[in-house]
Chain A
């Protein structure tokens, strides 16, 4: 059966450092991978989408990589700030078939 794993449940880093979150999957061949941010008491908010034939995608301080051989995506936040503290979810997409979210990683950026 399909399985998606994300980091440890929680990740603490110091302000200014680069946060790296992982998303690993098995028994799935996604054509796309999306990352969302979720703050407490709110719904997830879309951040980035990367296609299977793209190695890397950037948006401001965010960078996503997608390795279909390793079945892994890495999500980086450079120069992290306390305001980046949230839960980050990866989501796998195969043209709408079996669109599925990972369990999320709770990131805390400490001042």
Chain B
């Protein structure tokens, strides 16, 4: 079946504009993650959703960042009043389930990412 898809693949915007990034997870996956990867850097965790539970927003770098997941499927990451330091690749991943007692975080399947450039 189809993997995780993200759109757009590239986004160029001007400083101060708002942007929305979309993630379509694998069907049936209950957990969804957003990461940010700056050039040559590792993955920076932003937020995750698990089913209908309240999302873990602990990784969001500022209140300009928000995310929602509608109907337990598609997720949108919104960045308001973009800054140049927001330029990065934003990766989305989904997994069948989040970890529970005695079990690891399930394998995460990543999308191709959205490359955001803020001029």
Binds A, one of B13-21, B37-45, B63-71, B77-85: B37-45
Shortest CB-to-CB span from A84 to chain B, Å, is 19
> Chain B interface secondary structure, helix, strand, loop or mixed?
loop
Q: How far is the CA of A31 from the CA of B101 in the complex (A)?
A: 11
Whether the pair B99, A93 counts as a contact (CB closer than 8 A) is: yes
B-side contacts of A44, CB under 8 Å: 43, 91, 108, 110
Whether the pair B104, A93 counts as a contact (CB closer than 8 A) is: yes
Q: How far is the CA of A96 from the CA of B50 in the complex (A)?
A: 11
Whether the pair B113, A43 counts as a contact (CB closer than 8 A) is: yes
Number of cross-chain contacts by CB at 8 Å:
60
Whether the pair B45, A102 counts as a contact (CB closer than 8 A) is: no
Whether the pair A95, B45 counts as a contact (CB closer than 8 A) is: no
A-side contacts of B100, CB under 8 Å: 95-96
Whether the pair A31, B104 counts as a contact (CB closer than 8 A) is: yes
B103 at the interface (CB under 8 A from A): yes
B98 at the interface (CB under 8 A from A): yes
- A95-B104 contact, Cβ under 8 Å, with A101-B43, A103-B41, A104-B42: yes
B-side contacts of A9, CB under 8 Å: 40
Whether the pair A43, B104 counts as a contact (CB closer than 8 A) is: no
Shortest CB-to-CB span from B4 to chain A, Å, is 7
Given contacts A46-B108, A101-B42, 14 further A-B contacts (CB under 8 A): A9-B40, A31-B104, A32-B104, A41-B113, A44-B43, A44-B110, A45-B110, A89-B43, A95-B104, A96-B100, A97-B99, A99-B99, A101-B45, A103-B42
The 9 closest A-B pairs by CB, nearest first: A43-B110, A96-B99, A103-B42, A32-B104, A101-B43, A95-B99, A46-B107, A93-B105, A96-B105
- List, sorted by A's number, 19 A–B pairs whose CB atoms are closer than 8 Å: A31-B104, A32-B105, A34-B104, A42-B112, A43-B93, A44-B110, A89-B42, A93-B99, A95-B99, A95-B100, A95-B101, A95-B102, A95-B105, A96-B104, A97-B99, A99-B45, A101-B43, A102-B42, A103-B41
